Structure 1
Amino acid sequence: MKYFNSLFIVYFLLGSCFTYAQDEDLVREVNDTTLVSSKDPKSPKKDGEKFPITDYKIISYQRDTTNFDTTLTVYKQYKYNYLRKDNFELLRFNNIGQTYNRLGVSTEDNSMYPRLGAEGKHFNYMEVEDINYYRVPTPTTELMYKTVMEQGHILDAMITVNTSPQLNMSIAYKGMRSLGKYQHLLSSSGNFRFTTSYHTKDKKYFMRLHYAGQDILNQENGGLLVPEQFSSGDEEFIDRSRIDVKFEDAENFLLGKRYFLDHEYFIFKQQDSLKNYGLSVGHQLTYETKSYEFRQEAANAYFGESYQTSKLHDKSKLRTFNNLLSLNYQNKIIGKASFLANSYKYNYFFNSIVVGPESTITNQLRDNEIALGGRWEKTIGGFSLKGSLMQNIVGEMGGTQLNAQMGYQLTDAIRLDASLHASTRMPNFNFLLYQSDYKGFNWQNTDDFEKQKLSTISGKLTHQKWGSLEVSYTVRDGYAYFREHATYDTIQGVDTQQLATAEQFNGSINSIKVKFQNDIHFLRNLGLANTVMYQNVSQSENILNVPQFTTRQSLYYSNHLFQKALYLQTGIEAKYFTKYYMNSYSPVLGELLIQDREEFGGYPMLDFFINAKVQRTRIYLKAEHLNSLFGEKEYYSAPFNPYRDFIIRFGVVWNFFT
């Protein structure tokens, strides 16, 4: 197996280095030239006239504008998953909707204040920055469907309409249910979104708002009780539901509701060369409630001693109310500058107080925070410059947020980007205060923990043909983490107990991350998409653990068939990462825990895919983890949590423009 892994790495690295590209790819879909006929009597065009697809706008939280894209590319396939984003730096657990292990170090922390915690439950939780707004000339619908592991499906449906050129509304829901292959591993989630955006005819007032209601439920079984049942290859356990798990009576649940309003009024608006300045006031309001629960029918010695023997129920809650005020001024000389003032009110609480023999653990952290800052952006010659700074002046939880970006178009084909990020804040609330019916999961660290510091400098060089190279260097101080304390039976090869403590590293952790991506084509119809990532972490203890090398290659054939009625793309996708001290998972906390007793990884994941496009419908068929059908069963997503076996999955994405 080791020789196979070595040959696998060498083959794909050589393919990345020596494959050459043609001047122009004649079959790859690059630009979407879809035209949409108008059938709406309220449409600005007459019935039968056509809109280009570029008129159908998607507007991000940062106000970056893209359009609906009905093309089919290999990079669209990477985003065709439960998260609907490229998960190259994540390692999936066995069932859809479970948590993910991390293969890449994070280089930024965009949260000004502590979050609830239970980070293992937040991969599918849509934050303010994940909500999109729209502007469409005709009603537009997008439907995404995909099969799951067992008894269920993923369905993401969105419809948006402009009732007038000034007012847009959208409603969307992503639902998922998957029973899973192992006992007591059901996953279920729902993400509801409603958005509205509006501006007056004179464009002096702009408003956008959204509501998001989200729930994520996971049954938890603690992983394999007897790992040999999985690794032996015994035919009795090919049916994974026969494998023994640690328990079958626990689940955790994340619930969130958010109301968001962002509006701006222009006192003076820059309109033409006669008026080269603009002045506006803005306001952002965010009110959000979250709760995380762990429930178990009977106490289990795996998590240590407990206060009660049955009906265990841990529940933490967080309510936040954030108001951001801005005064914005712009002219041709200084660009656009804003003065910012932010008020943040939080209430993190439990419904009980833990009274112990030595200390008492309170049930609430509550206060108000105030921060001041500014942002600036301007284009000077060929340089685009952006910067922002926020500094907390009242309160103990917040700190500093500094971001600076620079971009320069060297040639028509080459672009250079650089950025600087620095942030400080207290660790998440579940590091500072936590209560549980399990005695070992109760702590109060408000006086012991200090603010985390993170600083990153990065650069990215992009070439239209040869791909992109991104390099980042990050320094972390006061890094907070959860450490696993497991009782491990070396004779039987099982762990008999899993406890966790919230800890903070007093030293510095330095990391460098290099990521290369390209999509090169040869022999007219063949393509090879490469993603290679190298990481090196300098630390005195094994705390921030990631693989040194992670690679993904897709060798594929694409062509138009049946007089261009169908566009076909088929090939093999391979992913590999080197061995490392893979994090374990705590169902009680909903968090990943560091462990340094055993390394995992070093196994390839081979998928075969067939994708097709018919008009505006994209069809996806994938045979996942082909190589699990032969060879040793050494693939894990976390200690005692196997990666996925071979499975064939199908799905489609439809776009309707009416």
Structure 2
Amino acid sequence: MRNGLIIFLIAMCGFEAMAQRQVSTEGDGARKDRRGSSVIDDSTKQVYGPTTTEFTYLRNIKYNNPKSWNVDTLVYDFHKFQFIAQRNNTYQNLGNIGTAFAPIYPTTPDIIGGRIGFNNYDEYYIPYEDIKIYDTKSPYSKFGIIWGGKGRSVTNVEFSRNIDERSNFSFQYRGLYIDKQIERERRGDRMALGHYYNLGGNYATKNGRYKVLGNFSRQNHVVDEYGGIDPGQDTVFILTDYFEENRQGFLSDVQTRDLRTDYHLYQQYKINDQMQVYHEMDRYKQLNDFTNTSSSGIETDTSYFGSFIALDTIPIKDRTKIIHRQHEVGIKGDIGKTFYSFYYKGREVNVDYKYLLEDTLDYGTYYMENYAGFNLRFGNDSTSYIETYGEYLFDENYKLGAKIQNKWFYAEGRSSRYLPTYVQRAYLGRHDQWLNDFESTLNTEIKAGINFKLGGLYLQPEASYNIITDYIYFADRTGEVDSTIRPIQPKQVSGDISIIKGQLKAGITFLKHFTLKTMFIYSEVAGDEAEAISLPQLLINGQLAYTNILYEGNLQLQFGFDFHQRSAYFANAYDASTMQYYRQNEFKTPAYPVIDVFLNVKINRGRAFLKYNNIYERIKQTGYFLTPYYPAQTTILDFGIDWALYD
């Protein structure tokens, strides 16, 4: 903690020195040519800054929704760098950054056709639809470094510059360097090592009729799996056993890997305001490996995997790969305040099971999918509109949805029928084997909410109802399958599952600088197959913070406490060999109040934070769980900074 405070003070001194050397006058609207570099003194006005650097997304261009944002310079919640916190604690992982990551509440896939089914590293990959498309008036660079306690480090780098007023080049890199928190032997003893980057650019003709955007993305994410804490011979769950200093994991020398690459191209031509034509191309590859290099060979880790051997191979390296090539062509346009688009999409799917031959399966692993779809939006105001969309895959699968939103009210309904994933249909590896003839899943959801704001008070109540038919999930099927086979296998229910959720977001500002924010989610699962899904009945988030701007705007700060708690429930467990979360009824994760203390500051264009995680563990002497057998974030100090340059 002392070292973190020293680093923090040094960084703040550096930021303060920068603030004394230059005075920012962002947003003055001045546009002047810059000729080289010079020393900036107190009289120099900065022409370029956050207000001259904008970005948008491909969906805004594709759906004629011309909305852009300035780069994020806010100090508020800057400390929320962990992926769980960024998702309002509605996900679970294995207690460390970079580990397998999954939603608590069931989600609907965007792709209704063939999918590989290894989704637990999706959060660390930025897909093309979420890549920022910049318009900069000057070179823009952003650097961020997070020094988390016990060797948990994250690096972020962004660079973008306009080649001219109609073209741009951008680059982004994120590195995860995450040490083990259990059985760590030395500094640099990694549990997760992830590298992600993307390169992109865009161009428009002088008259703006033709636009083209392209990018390339790559992720290589490797995780050392330890299988959770091994309780040894204890047959009774004792919480303190999982927080002993000499605790040991189930596995050693076991790794999972997620490798992805994506080439994406979008182009459009404007005939007139009422009609444009577009073409979108995407080539995506994902490869998932499970390897076990334990020196004990064939008999390795039987306490975790059992004695069943589905495939007698040495070395142990299970692999599944998918490649899809996709082309979409369509017409679109604006007629008054109404936007329309109609399209055809062809998607070539190629799946490679390392040990399964195609003639042993009752479905194709190399084939073409054909789609037709539409999008309609009534109203160009981003806060008041009605939109609807639909897509049909020519084998009776589909997705259909509609949404209405205004200043006070919003409602949405959607329904989709989508194929099982490939890993749900069939798998053959060292420890696992199955072949299933599953039906497509039908998922229908409706939700509605109210936005109310009065002075410093806001309320946003929301209710949703979700019904899922022919739901597929991984489960501990002990007693249901042959005792010679590992019981963790996919299963499809034969009935309906209903999920009812009530959510309330609320906040109030008082005494000018204090803010109290909360979020409550209440959920119930019902239906003939309700046991297939386990949810916490109550999930609570809260924050009490003091914010202020001092020294004529040169110093911004936010100080406060974050709170999170889930009611006790049977959270999904994790299976390393198949990289899947599965339903279980043996380990009930206890309710536990997670309290973090944070300080965020901004001086000029530099931001920094200090975060002290899980202070309640100092009192309780035991921690908490997001996933059974995996202790979650312990009491630890994190420190991070980022800074932006516009020259």
* Residue 42 (structure 1) shift: 8.1
**Quick check: 2:84–2:90 contact (8 Å CA) kept in 1?**
no
Of the three residues 318, 327, 333, the one matched with 2:331 is 327
Counterpart-to-counterpart distance in 2, 1:140 and 1:364: 47
User: Equivalent residue of 2:89, what SS?
Assistant: coil
* Residue 591 (structure 1) shift: 1.0
**Quick check: 1:101–1:638 contact (8 Å CA) kept in 2?**
no
User: Quick check: 294-303 or 629-638, which moved more?
Assistant: 629-638
Q: CA offsets per residue over residues 502-526 of structure 1, 9 Å max, x none?
A: 1111111111222222331112221
**Quick check: 2:536–2:568 contact (8 Å CA) kept in 1?**
yes
Aligned: 1:346 with 2:349: yes
Aligned: 1:246 with 2:244: no
| Structure 1 counterpart of 2:13 | none
| Structure 1 counterpart of 2:12 | none
Inter-CA distance 119–486: structure 2 relative to 1 (3 Å threshold): farther
Aligned: 1:50 with 2:31: no
Counterpart-to-counterpart distance in 2, 1:389 and 1:362: 29
Counterpart-to-counterpart distance in 1, 2:355 and 2:465: 43
* Residue 485 (structure 1) shift: 4.0
**Quick check: 2:224–2:256 contact (8 Å CA) kept in 1?**
yes
User: Equivalent residue of 1:50, what SS?
Assistant: coil
Aligned: 1:103 with 2:104: yes
Of the three residues 305, 308, 319, the one matched with 1:303 is 305
User: Quick check: 429-438 or 285-294, which moved more?
Assistant: 429-438
* Residue 152 (structure 1) shift: 4.8
**Quick check: 2:112–2:419 contact (8 Å CA) kept in 1?**
no
| Structure 1 counterpart of 2:374 | 374
Counterpart-to-counterpart distance in 1, 2:604 and 2:248: 48
* TM-score of the pair, normalised by structure 2: 0.84
User: Quick check: 302-311 or 428-437, which moved more?
Assistant: 302-311
* Residue 77 (structure 1) shift: 4.0
* Residue 259 (structure 1) shift: 0.4
* Residue 204 (structure 1) shift: 0.4
| Structure 1 counterpart of 2:151 | 151
| Structure 2 counterpart of 1:422 | 415
Inter-CA distance 523–113: structure 2 relative to 1 (3 Å threshold): same
Inter-CA distance 426–181: structure 2 relative to 1 (3 Å threshold): same
**Quick check: 1:98–1:218 contact (8 Å CA) kept in 2?**
yes
Counterpart-to-counterpart distance in 1, 2:593 and 2:90: 15
* Residue 434 (structure 1) shift: 1.4
User: Equivalent residue of 1:630, what SS?
Assistant: helix
User: Equivalent residue of 1:542, what SS?
Assistant: helix
Counterpart-to-counterpart distance in 2, 1:443 and 1:192: 35
Counterpart-to-counterpart distance in 1, 2:333 and 2:411: 25
User: Equivalent residue of 1:54, what SS?
Assistant: helix
Counterpart-to-counterpart distance in 2, 1:152 and 1:549: 30
Count of aligned positions:
586
Alignment of 1:248-647 (within 5 A): 248-267=252-271, 269-270=272-273, 278-297=274-293, 298=297, 299-301=300-302, 302-304=304-306, 305-306=308-309, 307-308=311-312, 310-332=314-336, 335-353=338-356, 360=360, 365-379=365-379, 384-393=385-394, 396=395, 399-409=397-407, 415-438=408-431, 441-445=432-436, 448-464=437-453, 465-485=457-477, 499-540=487-528, 541-631=530-620, 633=622, 635-647=624-636
Counterpart-to-counterpart distance in 2, 1:657 and 1:556: 31
* Residue 53 (structure 1) shift: 3.4
Counterpart-to-counterpart distance in 2, 1:93 and 1:42: 52
User: Equivalent residue of 1:431, what SS?
Assistant: helix
Inter-CA distance 482–329: structure 2 relative to 1 (3 Å threshold): same
**Quick check: 1:231–1:634 contact (8 Å CA) kept in 2?**
no
**Quick check: 1:385–1:407 contact (8 Å CA) kept in 2?**
yes
Inter-CA distance 196–617: structure 2 relative to 1 (3 Å threshold): same
* Residue 279 (structure 1) shift: 1.4
Alignment of 1:114-133 (within 5 A): 114-133=114-133
* Residue 195 (structure 1) shift: 1.4
Which runs of 5 or more structure 1 residues have no equivalent in the other structure?
Answer: 1-31, 271-277, 410-414, 488-496
* Residue 233 (structure 1) shift: 5.1
User: Equivalent residue of 1:41, what SS?
Assistant: coil
* TM-score of the pair, normalised by structure 1: 0.83
Alignment of 1:169-184 (within 5 A): 169-183=169-183
Counterpart-to-counterpart distance in 2, 1:220 and 1:40: 54
Q: CA offsets per residue over residues 612-652 of structure 1, 9 Å max, x none?
A: 11112221111101111122536222221111210011111
User: Quick check: 375-384 or 63-72, which moved more?
Assistant: 375-384
Inter-CA distance 82–636: structure 2 relative to 1 (3 Å threshold): closer
Amino acid aligned to 1:444: L
Aligned: 1:186 with 2:196: no
Inter-CA distance 180–504: structure 2 relative to 1 (3 Å threshold): same
Inter-CA distance 49–155: structure 2 relative to 1 (3 Å threshold): closer
Amino acid aligned to 1:261: L
User: Equivalent residue of 1:175, what SS?
Assistant: strand
Inter-CA distance 551–152: structure 2 relative to 1 (3 Å threshold): closer
* Residue 383 (structure 1) shift: 5.0
Inter-CA distance 360–156: structure 2 relative to 1 (3 Å threshold): same
Which runs of 5 or more structure 2 residues have no equivalent in the other structure?
Answer: 1-24, 37-43, 61-66, 185-189, 480-484
| Structure 2 counterpart of 1:273 | none
Amino acid aligned to 2:630: N
**Quick check: 2:515–2:545 contact (8 Å CA) kept in 1?**
yes
Counterpart-to-counterpart distance in 2, 1:383 and 1:102: 29
Inter-CA distance 377–564: structure 2 relative to 1 (3 Å threshold): closer
Amino acid aligned to 1:476: I
Inter-CA distance 149–481: structure 2 relative to 1 (3 Å threshold): farther
Counterpart-to-counterpart distance in 2, 1:406 and 1:368: 34
Q: CA offsets per residue over residues 532-590 of structure 1, 9 Å max, x none?
A: 11112213342121111111111111223445432221111110110111000011111
**Quick check: 2:351–2:365 contact (8 Å CA) kept in 1?**
yes
**Quick check: 2:229–2:247 contact (8 Å CA) kept in 1?**
yes
Inter-CA distance 217–114: structure 2 relative to 1 (3 Å threshold): same
Q: CA offsets per residue over residues 55-107 of structure 1, 9 Å max, x none?
A: 32121232142211212224x444x335794342123432211123533343x
**Quick check: 1:533–1:551 contact (8 Å CA) kept in 2?**
yes
* Residue 354 (structure 1) shift: 6.9
Aligned: 1:221 with 2:232: no
Q: CA offsets per residue over residues 429-481 of structure 1, 9 Å max, x none?
A: 1111212022xx12222xx2111111111223223441422322111111110
Counterpart-to-counterpart distance in 1, 2:459 and 2:58: 27
Counterpart-to-counterpart distance in 1, 2:263 and 2:35: 30
Q: CA offsets per residue over residues 181-227 of structure 1, 9 Å max, x none?
A: 11376111111111112111101011111110011110011111127
Aligned: 1:41 with 2:34: yes
* Residue 125 (structure 1) shift: 2.1
Counterpart-to-counterpart distance in 1, 2:172 and 2:586: 44
Aligned: 1:200 with 2:205: yes
Counterpart-to-counterpart distance in 2, 1:101 and 1:481: 13
User: Quick check: 85-94 or 608-617, which moved more?
Assistant: 85-94
Inter-CA distance 288–40: structure 2 relative to 1 (3 Å threshold): farther
Inter-CA distance 627–101: structure 2 relative to 1 (3 Å threshold): farther
Inter-CA distance 572–35: structure 2 relative to 1 (3 Å threshold): farther
| Structure 2 counterpart of 1:13 | none
Inter-CA distance 423–102: structure 2 relative to 1 (3 Å threshold): same
| Structure 1 counterpart of 2:14 | none
**Quick check: 2:88–2:541 contact (8 Å CA) kept in 1?**
no
**Quick check: 1:230–1:633 contact (8 Å CA) kept in 2?**
no
Counterpart-to-counterpart distance in 2, 1:638 and 1:400: 33
* Residue 38 (structure 1) shift: 6.8
